[in-house]
Amino acid sequence: MHEIITACLVFVVLGGLLGILLAIAARFFTSEKPEKLEAILSLLPGANCGGCGYSGCAALAQAIATGEAKPNTCPTNSNDKNTAISLLLGCQSAEKTIRYRAQILCSGTHEMAKKKYMYEGIDDCNAAIGLAGGDKLCPNGCIGLGSCARACPFQAIDVVNGIAAVNYEKCRACGMCVDTCPKHIIALIPYDAVFWVGCNSQDKGSVTKSYCQTGCIGCKLCEKKCPAKAITVQGAYASIQYDLCTGCGICAQVCPRKIIWSAHSQKDRGIYSDGHDRLPAQGNSTPNHG
Amino acid sequence: MNVASLLLLAFTAIVVENFIFSQFYGICPFLGVSNKPSTAFGMGMAVTCVITLSSFLTWLLYHHILDPLGISYLSTIAFIVVIAALVQLIEMFLKKYVPVLYEALGIYLPLITTNCAVLGSALINIQNGYNLMASVVFGFSSALGFTMAMLIFAGVRERLVFADPPKSFEGLPILLVSAGLVAMAFAGFSGVNIG
């Protein structure tokens, strides 16, 4: 018993002395710089997604504090918070950042796209790619094994019926899915864009038609009908230039393949998704993109 | 102990029984921060500070508190407490005065706490029955040996960047192979018997 008490006492005294020593040392060695860093760090989302190109929120905070990165570098932060960061650094206000969202440019669900074979392997798109470029005949089709969903730090992607779908509200456009997708079919488009082309087939129309019931055939109808000249058919598929798009929806109406999709759009909520990111296009959607 | 025997002790600690190359203590920072000579040197200096101070403090702690009170069986824990506090001190110092080095060392700085080279030297001091002077000299020179090993290997690693090893050897494997080769060079000293 006596020994236990001695041991405890010695360690209490030892720990106490060292603690006091460290507390005194901390007084001498603290600098003011970290407080600013902490403040910036607290205004960042803290998801450490890496979308900014730095190794995490702490590294970005450091870069912002030293002036290496702009206050609005974080692609996932809200405008208010980015403004708060720039005010903290003594700037007037940050440039307004456009919010983006990820969009999977494929509509080849199980019913729509033909397959080469039945894939029964590891649940990972990169693994499936190793087997003749994936199970879908379309060389640019979504593999649908959810590598992007696993890469997403915000759990914004689900695989629905063989293709990935983005939950817009959760998506912070960090770009991790874009880098992960082995088919490179995920794009970042403006958050409030209502219409998008759900295909990026590089093949000729006839070839696309042979393996996908819905893929873009490059007929250029949308390009001709678009009043804002926002759609161009480059190569084999249509793409929308969002700085020109007015969201009128004519392209979606004329598309014979129904491959131009529309997002849920409501005046008060803006663009949203209910877990499934695409609706059959409706021409009368509210023009939402200014 | 006279001066000559202290010098011999230092030589033994630096070269013959080099912490990294013949005792294999402290391999973690050795592989972790030896990619640039400057950071390797910074790490070496930080470890030198910690080992020298901890040799001094742990000797006093053991011979004046733990041993007289009959609780020397707790020496490992007590030494770790002292070492942890010292590392914390060094960390605060570096954060304030050498932030560049603080950033470069990263996680390896707090990991000095669990670096077996530091605890090892404190325990060897007690085991070999060194007096206070010899303990400090042994600690300091072992740490110098550690720094030297780090610097030598940082130099090797700078050359390794340009090497073109087979694919399966790229990265850590070739690093371990080269570390082994450098350690073999140090094995040449093992025949040196100073007594």
pLDDT tens sequence across A175-198? 889 989 999 999 998 888 888 888
A57, A48 contact by CB (below 8 A): yes
Q: How far apart are CA A155 and CA A167, in angstroms?
A: 9
Amino acid letter, A176: M
**Nearest chain A Cα to B80, which residue?**
A15
pLDDT tens sequence across A40-51? 888 888 878 877
Q: Band the pLDDT of A56: cuts 50, 70, 90.
A: confident
Q: Hey, of A2, A4, A5, A6, which one would you mutate to test binding to chain B, going by the most B CBs within 10 A of its CB?
A: A6
Residue B128: burial class (beta carbons within 10 Å; 0-12, 13-18, 19+):
exposed
A32 pLDDT above the threshold of 80: no
Q: What is the pLDDT of residue B81?
A: 92
**Nearest chain B Cα to A20, which residue?**
B85
Q: What is the pLDDT of residue B137?
A: 94
- The DSSP element (H or E) to which B49 belongs, if any, is helix B37-61
Q: What angle do CA A236, A240, A242 make, to 5 degrees?
A: 160
CB atoms inside a 10 Å sphere around CB B70 = 11
- Among A18, A31, A33, the residue with its CB nearest the CB of B85 is A18
Sole residue written with tokens 């929120």: A57
pLDDT tens sequence across B90-103? 888 888 888 888 87
Q: How far apart are CA A242 and CA A17, in angstroms?
A: 65
Q: What is the pLDDT of residue A290?
A: 37
The runs of H, that is alpha helices, within chain A are 2-29, 33-43, 57-65, 79-88, 125-129, 147-151, 176-180, 205-211, 221-225, 250-254
B57 pLDDT above the threshold of 50: yes
Q: Hey, of B82, B89, B91, B98, which one would you mutate to test binding to chain A, going by the most A CBs within 10 A of its CB?
A: B89
**Nearest chain A Cα to B97, which residue?**
A29
Q: Compute CA distances B161 → B92, B152, B157, B167, B169, whole Å.
A: 33, 15, 6, 14, 13
Q: Say yes or no for a CB contact (<8 Å) between B82 and A18.
A: yes
Interface of A with B in 3-32 (CB under 8 A): 3, 6-7, 10-11, 14-15, 18, 21-22, 25-26, 29-31
A165 pLDDT above the threshold of 80: yes
Of A152, A168, A180, A182, nearest to A103 by C-alpha is A168
Q: Say yes or no for a CB contact (<8 Å) between B89 and A21.
A: yes
A28 pLDDT above the threshold of 70: yes
CB atoms inside a 10 Å sphere around CB B81 = 18
* Residues in CB range of B124: below 8 A, 6 or more apart: B138
Q: What is the pLDDT of residue B115?
A: 84
Q: Say yes or no for a CB contact (<8 Å) between A6 and B69.
A: yes
Q: Compute CA distances B59 → A15, B26, B123, B124, B125, whole Å.
A: 17, 21, 9, 11, 8
pLDDT tens sequence across B124-182? 999 999 999 999 999 999 999 999 999 999 999 988 888 888 989 888 899 999 999 99
Q: Say yes or no for a CB contact (<8 Å) between B85 and A11.
A: no
Q: How far apart are CA A29 and CA B93, in angstroms?
A: 6
A273 pLDDT above the threshold of 80: no
- Residue B93 sits at φ, ψ, to 5 deg, of -60, -50
Q: Long-range pairs for A268-273 at CB < 8 Å and ≥24 separation?
A: A270/A191, A270/A192, A271/A101, A271/A168, A271/A191, A271/A192, A271/A193, A271/A194, A272/A168, A272/A169, A273/A165, A273/A166, A273/A167, A273/A168, A273/A169
Q: Say yes or no for a CB contact (<8 Å) between A3 and B70.
A: yes
Q: Say yes or no for a CB contact (<8 Å) between A29 and B96.
A: yes
Q: Say yes or no for a CB contact (<8 Å) between B74 and A11.
A: yes
C-alpha neighbours within 13 Å on the C-beta side of residue A242: 17
Task: Give residue B36's region: left, alpha or beta (phi > 0; psi -120 to 50).
Answer: beta
Percent of chain B topping pLDDT 70: 98
Q: How far apart are CA A49 and CA A156, in angstroms?
A: 13
A34 pLDDT above the threshold of 70: no
Q: Band the pLDDT of A289: cuts 50, 70, 90.
A: very low
pLDDT tens sequence across A232-266? 887 777 888 888 888 888 888 888 888 888 877 66
Most confident of A76-80, A84-88, A116-120, A285-289: A116-120
ipTM of the complex: 0.77
**Nearest chain A Cα to B94, which residue?**
A29
A91 touches chain B (CB under 8 A): no
- Residue B56 sits at φ, ψ, to 5 deg, of -65, -50
A148, A164 contact by CB (below 8 A): yes
Q: Measured between CA atoms, how close is B93 to chain A, in angstroms?
A: 6
Q: Say yes or no for a CB contact (<8 Å) between B69 and A10.
A: yes
Sole residue written with tokens 């707790």: B74
Q: Measured between CA atoms, how close is B75 to chain A, in angstroms?
A: 11
- Among B71, B82, B99, the residue with its CB nearest the CB of A6 is B71
Q: Which residues of B touch A10 (CB under 8 A)?
A: 65-66, 69, 71, 74, 78
Q: Measured between CA atoms, how close is B85 to chain A, in angstroms?
A: 6
Of A64, A98, A240, nearest to A172 by C-alpha is A98
Sole residue written with tokens 């011999």: B8
Annotate A126-160 with three-state secondary structure. Answer: HHHHCCCCCCECCCCCCCCCCHHHHHCCCCCEEEE
Q: Say yes or no for a CB contact (<8 Å) between A18 and B71.
A: no
A211 pLDDT above the threshold of 60: yes
- Where is average pLDDT lowest: A101-110, A117-126, A218-227, A276-285? A276-285
Q: Measured between CA atoms, how close is B133 to chain A, in angstroms?
A: 23
Size of interface A-B (CB pairs under 8 A): 46
- Residue A68 sits at φ, ψ, to 5 deg, of -75, -35
B127, B119 contact by CB (below 8 A): no
Packed helices A57-65 and A33-43: angle between N→C axes, nearest 10 degrees: 130
